[in-house]
């Protein structure tokens, strides 16, 4: 079914769901087309759409962008631009904006929550109680001590630094790798990913996605991490060779994994669902009411600013 095309308001394509309040605010200025609705079809609306809103995970598929001759801005709720073809945007004169600085604390908090959940077997303990195993005296394996852990950080941008700061409260020893060393941190820098992975208790992924980081966590990195090492990822699923990770976890060559992101979301490799040393989350590190509302407010502000000709925040 084709949607009715408005000739009184510019068209806006939503590629991911936003809160009702935000969508209502957008509808005051734009004719909103929701691609996630079952009967959605661009049809005649394609020529009327001047803007796209999306999330960092959903991005803006190249085929959709190419089908919209009038689009001038892609406003992303998130900080990642790896799911948007920036070069195509530049050729078509499309501005791409993100929501920087707003989600750092939540993602860092989530990373620590994942680490604690896996190390202390919190999810397994919850099931132990709910399934009545406690009353029967069934044994629950011991957890791991978090205080004093040796942690390898992959990526020391805003999120990576916020995670490292929180780890300091646990007296963690931190080594990091990034595209370069930073003079304003006290952590030890190592130039390659194998070094921070070797013999650490946990390897935390907080680097950007994209071609440059595709599958940087492969079998060699997982083997370097060791049989007791845990992998924590709040970055992008593309950083990890998922087949290699699944094999390592199934074969118990890995101490555990805490995954908020996956290679082909929302599809999760079925073998992971049955493993008790894996904590799984549906890509929701920034999913708090306070932060999501702030991010969506900036998405709207950037859209309005673009068409008003005023400065933008977080232009890629």
Catalytic positions, please?
236, 265, 283
Residue with tokens 């950083």, as numbered in its chain = 239
In this structure, the chain runs to a length of 316
In the structure encoding, which two tokens stand for residue 265, read together?
């979301």
Give the SS3 label for residue 14. Answer: strand
Sheet holding 278-280, edge to edge: 188-189, 173-177, 150-154, 202-205, 230-233, 256-259, 278-280
Q: Taking a C-beta distance cutoff of 8 angstroms, is the pair 43, 23 a contact? A: no
Cis peptide before 266 (omega within 30 of 0): yes
Cα separation, 182 vs 187, in Å, equals 9
* Residues facing 53 on adjacent strands: 14, 75
Angle between helices 104-119 and 122-130 (to 10 degrees): 60
Give the CA distances from residue 86 to residues 11, 91, 304, in Å, rounded to whole numbers and listed in that order: 21, 9, 21
Which 8-state DSSP code applies to residue 136?
T
Q: Nearest 5 degrees, angle CA 51-CA 266-CA 258? A: 115
């Amino acid at each position: 079914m084709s949607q009715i095309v408005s000739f009184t308001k510019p068209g806006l394509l939503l590629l991911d769901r936003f809160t009702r309040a935000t969508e209502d605010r957008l509808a005051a200025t734009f004719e909103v087309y929701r691609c996630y609705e079952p009967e959605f079809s661009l049809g005649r609306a394609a020529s009327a759409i001047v803007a796209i809103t999306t999330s960092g995970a959903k991005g803006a598929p190249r085929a959709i962008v190419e089908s919209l001759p009038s689009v001038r801005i892609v406003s992303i709720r998130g900080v990642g631009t790896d799911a948007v073809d920036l070069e195509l945007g530049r050729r078509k004169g499309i501005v791409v904006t993100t929501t920087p600085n707003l989600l750092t604390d939540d993602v860092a908090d989530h990373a620590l929550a994942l680490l604690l959940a896996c190390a202390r077997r919190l999810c397994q303990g919850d099931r132990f109680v709910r399934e009545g195993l406690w009353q029967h005296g069934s044994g629950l394996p011991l957890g791991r001590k978090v205080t004093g852990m040796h942690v390898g950080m992959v990526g020391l941008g805003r999120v990576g630094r916020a995670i490292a700061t929180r780890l300091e409260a646990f007296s963690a020893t931190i080594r990091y790798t990034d595209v370069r060393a930073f003079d304003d941190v006290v952590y030890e820098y190592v130039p390659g990913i194998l070094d921070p992975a070797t013999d650490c208790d946990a390897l935390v992924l907080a680097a950007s996605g994209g071609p440059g980081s595709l599958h940087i966590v492969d079998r060699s990195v997982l083997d370097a991490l060791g049989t007791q090492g845990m992998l924590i990822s709040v970055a992008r699923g593309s950083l990890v060779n998922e087949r290699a990770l699944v094999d390592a976890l199934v074969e118990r060559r890995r101490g555990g994994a805490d995954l908020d992101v996956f290679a082909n979301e929302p599809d999760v490799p079925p073998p992971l669902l049955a493993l008790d040393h894996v904590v799984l989350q549906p890509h929701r590190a920034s999913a708090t009411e306070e932060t999501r509302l702030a991010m969506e407010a900036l998405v709207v502000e950037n859209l309005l600013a673009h068409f008003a000709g005023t400065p933008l925040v977080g232009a890629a």
